[in-house]
Amino acid sequence: MPQDVIIKDPNKLLEELEALHPSDIANSLKKIEKDSEDDFFFVLKKLPDEILGEVLLELPDNLRDDAYAELSSEQLTDALDELESDDQTDIIQELEEHNEKKAKEVFDGLEVEDQKEIHWLKTYEEDQAGSYMQTELFSANLKETIKESLDRLTQGKASDELENIHQVYIVNDDKKLIASILLEDLIIIDFKKTYEEVLSEYDENKFKAFDVQDKDDIDNVAKIFEKYDLNVVAVTGYQGMLMGRITSDDILDVIEDNATEQMYQLAGVDHDFENDDNLFSTAKKRAMWLCLNLCTAILASLVIGIFDETIQSYVALAILMPIVASMGGNAGTQTLAVMVRQLALGDIELDNAKDAVKKEVIVSLFNGLLFAILMGIIAWIWFDEKLLGLVIGISMILNLFSAGFFGASIPLVLKKFDIDPAVGSTVLLTTVTDIVGFFSFLMLAKVILL
């Protein structure tokens, strides 16, 4: 299994460049930058044009911004010239946010064909499939022979115009996508035949192409990649015209970004702010969520305040209260995490939500009964009071039931109102489990014990 290679010495890193992957070079640069910013820029400026662009794409956002500021327009132009259209577009757009003047200088330095492709790709929204596609692909006309197309592929590979080619896309005279043939299948077919002849000899589904529309949501495209275990998918536009392709490396980035965003949102923090070097901005953003948490905590405390006399009369209640709330909170978080993830993957839709809620409630009730018996016995032995064990047992069942029900329902309700289920679900759930836990425990204690 390949291991990460990290070289902290700038000169040694430059000597080993040919043996390193761009990702390893970027990781080494991150380590070097922590020790010396000057060494970081020294190595960066020495990187060959062939790998500079790929290394830039592997750097974290803050270091990439520093690199854009330090590198000259000429260096950036030469680096972009080695990249594929989708990566060129990404860097140009980032440069525009950082320095519009330098972005224009870099853009103007590119070949006219590259400029047209970048301008075209920039017209798509960031969540559309078209913004992730690259226009470089291997296609052939129906009337073309296999030999003619393979000769073009050889020339394209020799001039580094084509990379990661696994199939040939077959189009008609109107550029409409007709089929897709893997190279491993292509090499065993008679090279003298035209693609039209080849397709007529096989079932129409044999070489059916996987394709998505250029305006499709990229999250839905990612689900198609996962469902069919794809390495690449064609992108088509008006009337099925072949426009480009999306490769698995871009989809992996989409999946990773979505997973990271969900984790941050469940915790109530913002991904953009967490990558910000400005400590005040990060602290301010977190403080907003903490303020909301404070308000919900006050609500729970008000519930406790209603039963202050009950607690004073039975001190053991104060000792056991956190257990009930904690168990409910943890059980709810488990349910919430499962529901949010399944909603994100499309495993649960609003149509079959009833079954999902039912399952989570049954699981929570089972655990509620199990831990009610366990905690009831512990409380009985601990404080030598049977009724106290009964009180915490019943309260445990009620709170774990509410944790399962609301942990499953809150994300679904947010989804129904077109609100991201990962945003705010934790705060709402914690409020419910705390209030239900404290109220049920103290009310039962007041009725049964006092």
Q: How far is CA 32 from CA 13, 25, 170, 274, in A?
A: 10, 10, 47, 22
**pLDDT at site 1:** 36
The CA-based angle 209-211-216, given to 5 degrees, is 170
φ, ψ dihedrals at 407, nearest 5°: -65, -30
Query: DSSP labels for 42-95?
Result: HHHHHS-HHHHHHHHHHS-HHHHHHHHHHS-HHHHHHHHTTS-HHHHHHHHHHH
Per the CB < 8 A criterion, the answer to whether 14 and 48 are in contact is no
Cβ count within 10 A of residue 326: 14
Exposure string over 36-62, b if 16+ CB within 10 A, otherwise e: eeebbbebbeebeeebbbbbbbbbeee
Residue with tokens 């990249």: 83
Please identify every stretch of the chain with a pLDDT value under 70, giving residue numbers as ranges: 1-4, 262-279, 281-282, 285, 289, 345, 422-424
**pLDDT at site 259:** 73
- For the CA atoms of 197, 203, 207, 212, what is the dihedral angle to 10 degrees? 120
Domain residue spans of the chain: 10-127, 139-247, 271-448
* Digit-coded pLDDT (tens) for 352-378: 788 889 999 999 999 999 999 999 999
**pLDDT at site 314:** 85
**pLDDT at site 274:** 45
**pLDDT at site 175:** 94
**Topology given in CATH for the domain delimited by 271-448:** Tetracycline Repressor; domain 2 (1.10.357)
Q: Enter the DSSP assignment of 129.
A: G
**pLDDT at site 273:** 47
Q: Note the pTM of the prediction, 2 decimals.
A: 0.68
**Topology given in CATH for the domain delimited by 10-127:** MgtE N-terminal fold (1.25.60)
Provide the sign of the torsion angle of the four alpha carbons 102, 106, 109, 114, taken in this order.
negative
**pLDDT at site 3:** 55
Give alpha helix (H) positions in 215-352: 218-228, 248-267, 271-274, 279-306, 308-313, 316-345
CA distance linking residue 185 with residue 177, whole number of Å = 18
Residue with tokens 């896309």: 169
Tell me the CATH number of domain 139-247, given options 3.40.50.720, 3.10.580.10, 3.40.50.880, 3.30.70.2190: 3.10.580.10
**pLDDT at site 272:** 53
Q: Enter the DSSP assignment of 186.
A: H
Per the CB < 8 A criterion, the answer to whether 324 and 438 are in contact is yes
Per DSSP bridges, beta strands 177-182 and 211-213 are unpaired
Q: How many alpha carbons fall within 13 Å on the CB side of residue 356?
A: 23
